[in-house]
Every structure is written in structure tokens, then in C-alpha cells.
């Protein structure tokens, strides 16, 4: 069992994307702290913002697989398809959901417009802009080539 655990944590396909995700989320937390002067721990686990950690994680994994296993393998094809699905979702579906949340929050806050009582606002920063996805993907590719 001990050998399996060590093999797992020493697997670059596991630790590189995880450390990259953590590093980007930590960057967002620190950037938010510097710009707003408020500590927002939700930034470490939250979605959205520049750059897209989702895109960085999947493209780093795809790049690692392509470099080490070969771009002609089924595993690379699977990772590439997975990366495109994640990036499409981050830029399309989740971004649209964030825009809808912002609109719903405004509607609920408008006096006299609705009698709906809510205990908390909907999360508005869910997805990414195309630029955020592109920058995250670029970071992931660079890290995948460096490691």
C-alpha cells in the first residue's frame, strides 16, 4: 500500500496539474488581496478569473501526455478531447451561468420588482472570458513542456 501511495504522489501526471492549479489559485488569492485589500479565501477554491486554472490544468496534462506518451496515442487523443470540452465549458456554459446569476441578483435586489427572499446571492464568477481561457491554456502548455 505504501508503495502505491508513493508511486501516486510521484506521478507527474498527478502532481504537475495539481501544483499548477494550486499555484494559479494562490496567484488569484494574492492578486485579489493586493487589489481589494481584503482577504477572500474563496478565491483559492472559487472558479473564474484570470487566468483559467481549469484550462491550465487540462492543457498541462495534455502536453505532458503528448510529450511522454506520443501525440499518436489514444491517451493523447482522449486528453485533447477532454481539454477542449473543459475549455469550452469554462468559456461557454459556465460563463453564461455566471451572467445569468448576475442578472438574477440584480432582479432580486430591485425594490418592488419581486417578492422573492433569498438568504445569499448567487455566485456570479463561474466561467471565463476567452482571453482568460487562452492565457490559462498557454500557461498549461508552457508548464507541460518545461516539466
Summarised one tens digit per residue, pLDDT across range 9-50 is 889 999 999 999 999 999 988 988 898 888 877 777 777 788
Domain boundaries along the sequence of the chain: 2-92+127-146
- Which residue did the predictor score with more confidence, 115 or 33? 33
Tally Cβ neighbours within 10 Å of residue 109.
Answer: 11
Q: How confident is the model at residue 141 (pLDDT cuts 50, 70, 90)?
A: very high
Confidence at residue 24, expressed as pLDDT on a 0 to 100 scale: 94
Q: Which residues fall within 8 angstroms of residue 10, CB to CB, at 6 or more apart?
A: none
Q: Which residues fall within 8 angstroms of residue 12, CB to CB, at 6 or more apart?
A: 64, 147
Q: How confident is the model at residue 112 (pLDDT cuts 50, 70, 90)?
A: low
Q: Which residues fall within 8 angstroms of residue 134, CB to CB, at 6 or more apart?
A: 55
What is the reported pTM? 0.77
Amino acid at each position: 500500500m505504501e508503495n502505491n501511495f508513493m508511486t501516486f504522489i510521484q506521478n507527474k501526471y498527478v502532481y504537475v496539474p495539481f501544483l499548477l492549479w494550486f499555484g494559479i489559485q494562490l496567484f488569484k488569492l494574492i492578486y485579489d488581496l493586493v487589489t481589494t485589500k481584503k482577504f477572500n479565501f474563496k478565491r483559492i477554491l472559487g472558479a473564474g478569473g484570470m487566468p483559467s486554472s481549469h484550462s491550465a490544468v487540462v492543457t498541462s496534462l495534455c502536453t505532458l501526455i503528448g510529450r511522454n506518451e506520443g501525440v499518436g496515442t489514444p491517451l493523447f487523443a482522449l486528453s485533447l478531447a477532454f481539454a477542449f470540452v473543459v475549455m469550452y465549458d469554462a468559456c461557454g456554459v459556465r460563463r453564461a451561468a455566471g451572467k445569468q446569476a448576475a442578472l438574477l441578483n440584480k432582479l432580486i435586489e430591485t425594490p418592488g420588482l419581486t417578492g422573492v427572499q433569498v438568504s445569499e446571492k448567487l455566485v456570479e464568477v463561474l466561467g471565463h472570458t476567452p482571453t482568460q481561457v487562452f492565457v490559462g491554456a498557454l500557461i498549461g502548455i508552457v508548464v507541460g513542456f518545461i516539466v
